[in-house]
Amino acid sequence: MNKNETAMFIGHRLCSPLNYENVHREVLKAILTGTKVFVSGADGTFERFASIVVNDLKKKFPWVQNHLILPDADFKDYDATLYDKIIFPQELKIIPHCFRITARNKYIVNSASLAICYLDHTYGDSGETYKYALEKGLEIVNLGRLK
């Protein structure tokens, strides 16, 4: 994965209202400016929703890839048909289970240059991932209420 051609999704486990057109616009903009790979953790409503949008856009842009990054090899709560690759990073194997979601989220941030988000607040796993993405200098687009 080329970091400069990779975008990620950050969103709360529960978020609403999600607007297909807004997410579609930002994913399309990312594709038109060179993004070839989208990565996410599929833990939240927004990440799953955004993966559906990427899948829809793959009909017009078949070179675009949608990757799911798992926090654990046994993680099964996802729709495999949405993803081109499902990855469990080897470096997560040595991390205690209770810290793997945080480590996976940092792995995703470190793989991307753009974060498309749906955030209303900065607490919890999504908020911590957002703060880490800011710290790492990712371009941030937030479709939620957080300003």
Q: What is the pLDDT of residues 22-61, one digit of tens each?
A: 999 999 999 999 999 999 997 778 898 999 999 999 999 9
Exposed/middle/buried for 69, CB within 10 Å: 0-12, 13-18, 19+?
buried
Number of structural domains in the chain: 1
pLDDT at res. 15: 67
The reply to whether 147 falls in a domain is no
Write the CATH number for 138.
3.40.50.450
The reply to whether 62 falls in a domain is yes
Residues 60-92 pLDDT 10s: 999 999 999 999 988 887 889 999 999 999 999
pLDDT at res. 43: 76
pLDDT at res. 146: 79
pLDDT at res. 4: 96
The reply to whether 64 falls in a domain is yes
Contact in structure between 24 and 35 (CB atoms under 8 Å): no
Quickly count helices (H) and strands (E) in the chain.
Answer: 4, 6
pLDDT at res. 50: 95
pLDDT at res. 53: 97
The reply to whether 121 falls in a domain is yes
- Dihedral over Cα of 6, 48, 127, 89: its sign: negative
pLDDT at res. 131: 96
Q: Give the structural domain span for 77.
A: 3-142
The reply to whether 53 falls in a domain is yes
The reply to whether 104 falls in a domain is yes
Of 61, 117, 115, residue with least CA distance to 84:
61
Helix spans in 33-119 (H): 45-57, 100-111
Residues 6-27 pLDDT 10s: 999 998 766 677 788 999 999 9
